[in-house]
DNA sequence: GATGAATGAGAATTCATTCAT
DNA sequence: AATGAATGAATTCTCATTCAT
């Protein structure tokens, strides 16, 4: 066959990645075999290796794209509305997004990613730096909020950044991995609690 | 050979479980091989299979014992001090306990446990019911706190139970699995935030 | 597309053969992949299969051309000079030729060829008959030398043919494959030894 | 099963090595699959890996033992008889030994060994040093012969060492690999030629 | 009961060859 | 004719489990 266009190549890669993403989300990295991906994608063994040089590479490329998309959510802050409004909406949206099966899978993949990566020193470093970026993005927004007077000036931003990201993850983790139902009320209570802290209403 | 006393059997089992626990914590379920456990424990392959019928069974028995111990922590509420004091201390203790390597391992094991269990419908049910017990214990305490006037009477207890357990897990997960340092300040901010909510100070 | 001229076809074949020759010399038959040849030659996978129907065929065609060239060396005996002179020069030239990287490669290829061929009854027969031709060429020359009085009349020509070809190969093999340096002195001692025998000076 | 005695382990290893030796001799390193060894030896896939950690290790252990045995041949020089007698006998014995199928296989393995090893820088070094030992053993004997007056005092020992080993190899190679029959006469002519040189009879 | 050697089903990956374009 | 993506059988190696001693 003649050379595929870049577009065709990317589409093929995307297809494989999409299928692999589903399997990884469901079974985790170690328990997913290349055969699983072969079956799910309909692409032959060798075919997959035309696009990725190892199972790990597939996993990492998925992480690359998925984790990026979460971060980008934050990039778009409406300039006019208050930061406190934005954050409340953002937190709520993140939690409620899990109602969508697709986002649930992303969450599962994400936890699997951290579990896998945490056992590999080299990868871990990359993952940490990704987290740091996410963290500093958040801090930047919090700072902006403080400056605008939307958030409390008493905040210990660095540490609150940790608390926010960690507890948000926890809310998702419990629902996505542990399979414990998260109700809308739980989400609301959580966001209220967080925003009270951030707005200094306690 | 003469039948071993129950005590001897239990001691040998405990030894294997202890060693397996360490390896599972470090490498996760799939990446731990029986050989890892053989080497760590000094017990032969066949020996291990005398006590456990599969790798999965070892894993599950560890979960059984470890997760039980966490629960029991809550059983002992000092009658005199306020519930809000108790909870504050308890949450703080749980988070700070991660400074101890052993507790860190337990946390890691626990997350690995949920990840594994989440992929197996049958196990999942058992795990869920364990979680439910933990959740209802917590609710019971919260109720007691409300009744005693130590906690806000406005609380939506069921949902707050979820929020508490989930966010606490998140705080631990971020530190234990993702390897992001949790400072004492982060822990304190988190507990403050939670207690403000529970005590109705916002 | 218009049919390529025979010349164009041959030139393309030659190019592929030349490149394949280099890779085979370096890595041997089994460890050379078609991709290696594709990369070295710049000709596409399918392109190569237009000219050769298998990896083995390429290998064999190289052998065909290379081994022929060695034989032809012998075809040109200067009529005037003594056969003993000619042989001395020829043996010396063969050995010293290994200083040239190109000839070293040819030697390596040649040994690889025999190793490969020795494992395949059908090919082996062809190779043997090639060897026989070479052997009888040599005998012919030796006979001529005897007749002219340049070589000893006591020679057991058939067997000496074997000894000459075998030891010459050995000298080359040790240098080319085993990587043991062959000095000019070694070469000279060898040729002296051989010529003493052939000239009956012992 | 309880622990095997060292003897039992060695016997098992020997069995595997023996079978692998046969297959490697016949098909070469690359073309021998672990399955070939499994079938030939009757030992299961996993079983073989209990004794050797890779295909390469099996190959190298065979080389270790086989190549050693050849060397040791030289260690036993009868003190009384002349060195020239010993060498003549030794060279003749080496060549005629190829009549035995077993020694033929060893020769084939040996050439395969060098071919394989020559493409791997790390292994190559080890192989070279093995060769060096063999070479220096030979030189030592030659020196002894010169000293005793059994061999010519005009010899350039280092280079003759090369010539001897290389031509001897060549004689064997031509027979074992190229499949060209080596007659007793060829062997005798070769040894005569070599001894004439060594004894200075030319 | 304990041991550890043996098993063999699977895992990831490679590669000669094919064939649609 | 030329291209290079696709195929899938074959390869090396791993590992949970079994079982003879």
pLDDT tens readout for residues D113-145: 999 999 888 888 888 988 998 899 899 999 999
Flag if D128 and C179 touch (Cβ within 8 Å): yes
The protein residue nearest nucleotide E20, judged by CA to C1', is A1
* Residue from C124, C162, C165, C196 whose CB has the most chain D CBs within 10 Å, to mutate: C162
**Protein CA at A48 to nucleotide C1' at F3, angstroms:** 20
Burial of C78 (0-12, 13-18, 19+ CB in 10 A): exposed
Q: What is d(CA D39, CA A25) in angstroms, rounded to the nearest whole number? A: 40
Give the CB-side neighbour count of residue C7, counting CA atoms within 13 A. Answer: 0
pLDDT at C72: 60
Question: Residue A44: which nucleotide is closest by CA–C1'?
Answer: F7
CB pairs C-D closer than 8 Å: 149
Per the model's pLDDT, the better-predicted residue between A97 and B7 turns out to be: A97
**pLDDT of D127:** 87
Q: How far is B177 from chain A (nearest CA, A)?
A: 6
Residue B40 predicted with pLDDT over 70:
yes
Q: Across chain A, what does the average pLDDT equal?
A: 92
**Torsion angle, alpha carbons of A170, A172, A174, A178, to 10:** -130
In tens, the pLDDT along B95-118 reads 999 999 999 999 999 999 999 988
Give helix then strand counts, H and E, for chain B: 9, 0
Task: With a cut of 50, say whether residue C152 has pLDDT above it.
Answer: yes
Q: For helices D157-176 and C184-199, give the axis angle rounded to 10 degrees.
A: 70
Confidence of residue B122 (pLDDT cuts 50, 70, 90): confident
Assigned fold of A63-198: Tetracycline Repressor; domain 2 (1.10.357)
**Contact assessment for residue D57 and residue D25, using Cβ atoms and an 8 Å cutoff:** no
- pLDDT tier for residue D188 given thresholds of 50, 70 and 90: very high
Chain-wide mean pLDDT for chain B? 90
Residue C1 has pLDDT above 50, yes or no: no
Per-position DSSP letters for D20-79, written without gaps between them = HHHHHHHH-TTT--HHHHHHHH---HHHHHHH-SSHHHHHHHHHHHHHHHHHHHHH---S
Band of residue A65 on the pLDDT scale cut at 50, 70, 90: confident
pLDDT band at C3 (very low <50, low <70, confident <90, very high): low
pLDDT at C79: 66
Residue C173 has pLDDT above 80, yes or no: yes
pTM equals 0.91
Which protein residue's Cα is closest to nucleotide F5 at C1'? A1
Q: How far apart are CA D91 and CA D108, in angstroms?
A: 18
Secondary structure (H, E, C), chain C: CCCCCHHHHHHHHHHHHHHHHHHHHHHHHHHCCHHHHHHHHCCCHHHHHHHCCCHHHHHHHHHHHHHHHHHHHHHCCCCCCCHHHHHHHHHHHHHHHHHCHHHHHHHHHHHHHHHHHCCCHHHHHHHHHHHHHHHHHHHHHHHHHHHHCCCCCCCCHHHHHHHHHHHHHHHHHHHHCCCCCCCHHHHHHHHHHHHHHHHCCC
Stretch B17-42: mean pLDDT, rounded? 96
What angle separates helix C55-75 from helix C34-41, to the nearest 10 degrees?
60
pLDDT digits (tens, 9 = 90+) for C57-105: 999 999 988 877 666 656 666 767 899 999 999 999 999 999 999 999 9
Residues of D 34-53 whose CB lies less than 7 Å from any atom of strand E: 43-47, 49-51
Architecture of domain B1-53: Orthogonal Bundle (1.10)
Tokens of C139: 């005998």
Q: What is the pLDDT of residues D67-91, one digit of tens each?
A: 776 666 566 666 678 999 999 999 9
Percentage of chain C modeled with pLDDT above 70: 92
State percent of chain D over pLDDT 90.
79
Q: What is the pLDDT of residue A77?
A: 66
Angle subtended at Cα A68 by Cα A66 and Cα A72, rounded to the nearest 5 degrees: 125
Residue in chain D lying closest to C175 (CA): D166
Give me the residue from C26, C31, C174 closest to D166, CB to CB. Answer: C174
Interface probe for A, chosen from B139, B163, B184 (most Cβ of A below 10 Å), is B163
- Mean pLDDT score across all residues of chain D: 92
D197 to C201: CB separation less than 8 angstroms, yes or no: no
- A45 with A37: CB under 8 angstroms? no
Mean of the pLDDT values across residues A54-71? 86
What gap in Å lies between CA B145 and CA B153, rounded to an integer? 9
Residue A66 confidence class, pLDDT cut points 50, 70, 90? confident
* Distance to chain D for C77, nearest Cα, Å: 25
pLDDT of residue C160: 97
Chain C hits for D168, CB-CB cut-off 8 Å, are 170
As a whole number, mean pLDDT of residues C51-56 equals 96
- Asked if B98 and B182 touch (Cβ cutoff 8 Å), the reply is yes
pLDDT number for residue B1: 47
In strand F, which positions have an atom below 7 A from any protein CB?
Answer: 1-21
- How far is CA B137 from its chain centroid? 14
* Averaged pLDDT, A72-93: 81
pLDDT score for B126: 83
Domain locations along chain D:
1-53, 63-198
Contact C178 D30 (CB under 8 A): no
* Average pLDDT along chain C: 90
* Statement: residue B145 has pLDDT above 50: yes
CA distance A84 to C5: 77
For residue D28, pLDDT beyond 60: yes
Q: Which positions ≥6 away from B173 have C-beta within 8 Å?
A: A166, A169, A170, A173, B107, B111
Q: Are C84 and C145 in contact (CB under 8 A)?
A: yes
Percent of chain C's residues with pLDDT above 90: 73
Take residue D155 and report the two structure tokens written for it: 């010899």
CB atoms C115 and D114 under 8 Å: no
Give the Cα separation of C188 and C111 in Å (integer): 23
- C123 pLDDT band, cuts 50/70/90, is confident
Sign, CA dihedral B69-B75-B80-B81, equals positive
């Amino acid at each position: 066959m003649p050379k595929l266009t870049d577009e065709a190549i990317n589409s093929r890669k995307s297809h494989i990645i999409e299928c692999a993403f589903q399997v990884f989300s469901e079974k985790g990295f170690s328990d997913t075999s290349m055969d699983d991906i072969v079956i799910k994608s309909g692409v032959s063994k060798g075919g997959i290796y035309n696009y990725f040089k190892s199972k790990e590479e597939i996993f990492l490329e998925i992480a690359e794209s998925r984790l990026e998309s979460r971060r980008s959510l934050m990039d778009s802050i409406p300039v006019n509305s208050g930061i406190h409004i934005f954050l409340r909406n953002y937190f709520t949206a993140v939690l409620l997004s899990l109602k969508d099966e697709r986002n649930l899978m992303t969450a599962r993949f994400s936890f699997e990613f951290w579990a896998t990566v945490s056992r590999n020193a080299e990868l871990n470093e990359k993952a940490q730096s990704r987290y740091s970026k996410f963290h500093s993005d958040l801090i930047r927004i919090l700072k902006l909020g403080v400056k605008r007077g939307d958030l409390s000036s008493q905040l210990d931003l660095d540490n609150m950044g940790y608390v926010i990201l960690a507890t948000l993850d926890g809310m998702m983790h419990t629902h996505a991995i542990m399979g414990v139902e998260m109700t809308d009320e739980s989400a609301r209570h959580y966001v209220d609690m967080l925003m009270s802290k951030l707005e200094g209403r306690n």
